[in-house]
Structure 1
């Protein structure tokens, strides 16, 4: 259902009066609203004029408090940065709403970029991690992948090679086979 601003509703009602209560002419000119919505807006406008009290229709209802939003974002940041996990634990909201809260309250902290990662990028990340001095999270941030991509790649290549953590994929840059 489309939402219209107070200004859009006021304009439609003014045209409705100017066009001698012809909803069809208003809708034809503006492209909105439905006849039923226009009649409801007109009744509200008459009531506002009669009482002097503005209608509260169209004001956004805040379903969640600021404390609930902060709790959800904090859970996300401290429990693995998984939207689904946070939604299951907290019981709210949708992926889109939770992502918007994270972007609002903790800009730059939301994990994005899921999907296949190019093999060359994986190898570069693993080589950087194997060189030492950095964590998988730091390497992942440098190359733009999730930390789990780096950790999983190190574990899988070490297991395949039986090298206890170093394989041809994890050699330092410049090393020859």
Structure 2
């Protein structure tokens, strides 16, 4: 069993081609692989298209058994759905590999989306946060992004427009203006 499925490798190679061989754009969107792996997958994909014979790369070796993969995904699902917690507790694998296992073995169960977030989703999240009454984590959970996306967008919007932050009437006791 390969670290990444044939479908994941094919998708990455197709995006690499579509993005005019920009490995950074593919990795930013998918969250995997490394530049070297992407170039190798692209060469394999071109060879498969040319010859019609599928590559057997990665099929003969798997660092983790199916049982280990299932155990890691089960731990993720039953212990707060935190990649870092699962990696720390189980002792394996990387965030990217664990995310791929979750997507493969429990489709739709990963709560946080990786990669670019549409501007309209960001704007909606910022508007919801600025309206008050909710935390950035709550807003992020509602729209399915990381809380840092919401916080960073609020900070950048405030810096650009000169608004945001706490108003003078919400400053904590003892703070000077």
Fold match by TM threshold 0.5: no
Query: TM-score, length-normalised on structure 1?
Result: 0.39
Larger RCO (CA within 8 A; separation ≥ 6): 2
